[in-house]
Amino acid sequence: MTDETILIEQLKNVQTKEKAFRDLISLYKERLYWHIRKIVISHDDTDDVLQNTFIKVFKNINQFNQKSKLFSWMYRIATNESITFINKKAKLSNVDISNYQQKLTSTIANDDFFTGDEIQLILQKAIATLPKRQKLVFNMKYFDELKYNEISEILETSVGALKASYFHAVKKIEKYIKTKTN
């Protein structure tokens, strides 16, 4: 039995659930944090979404059917939570999700928890201009260095479509960076 299978069994067992859940948080908190952070941008919002993600994992672990890896399942939940969060925020601000994210990114230079240099700032602004799916694919492939088949499991999209999305995203980012740096 693999470590993951054991962990899942412990998570589904009422007597071992709490201890296993603590281990699960320790194991994945940083990776999920950075995944969410790249979508919702601010630290405080990321903290909210991360906690909600783990709570959803805790409550729905019995529904996990092991057709995918546990990590992919959690990544998917984190992605969905982040998108829901951004949608709600955009709705409250009365703008569409794409405008909202561009607005968010335009203020990160003043964020205490953003220490990137000028080119990193331009890159974040370029990412904010991408359509939702291209943005997700780019972040997962470029920064998180996930493999296409892993992203495919998380987003339930074919590898071919992901490769095309990534290629278009990279091309748009390169064009954006060129216009801002020339």
Partner 1 sequence: MGKEIKNSIEDISKKKTGFSIPPNYLHNLEDTIAAKLLEENFPTETGFEVSDTYFNNLEEIILAKVSSDKNEIKVISFKVKVLKMIPIIAAASIILFIGLNSFVFKTTEAITIDSLSDDDLAIWLDYNTFTTNDIALVLEDDILEENDFYFSTIKDITIEDYINNSSYYIDLLNEID
What residue ranges bind partner 1 (CB under 8 A)? 18, 21-22, 25-26, 29-30, 33-34, 37-38, 43, 47, 50-51, 54-56, 58-60, 63, 76-77, 79-81, 83-84, 88, 91, 108, 113-117, 119-121, 123-124, 142-143, 159-160, 163-164, 166-167, 170-171, 173-174, 177
Closest contact distance (angstroms) between CB of 173 and partner 1 is: 7
Find out whether 29 and 50 touch, Cβ atoms under 8 Å: yes
Closest contact distance (angstroms) between CB of 88 and partner 1 is: 7
Q: Which two tokens stand for residue 61?
A: 């672990």
Choose between 1 and 71: whose C-beta lies nearer to partner 1: 71
Handedness of CA 30, 76, 72, 74 (dihedral sign): positive
Choose between 100 and 166: whose C-beta lies nearer to partner 1: 166
Find out whether 75 and 32 touch, Cβ atoms under 8 Å: yes
Choose between 1 and 15: whose C-beta lies nearer to partner 1: 15
Choose between 1 and 63: whose C-beta lies nearer to partner 1: 63
Q: How far is CA 83 from CA 19, 70, 173, 181, in A?
A: 29, 20, 21, 30
Closest contact distance (angstroms) between CB of 167 and partner 1 is: 4
Closest contact distance (angstroms) between CB of 54 and partner 1 is: 5
3-state secondary structure 17-63: HHHHHHHHHHHHHHHHHHHHHHHHCCHHHHHHHHHHHHHHHHHHHHH
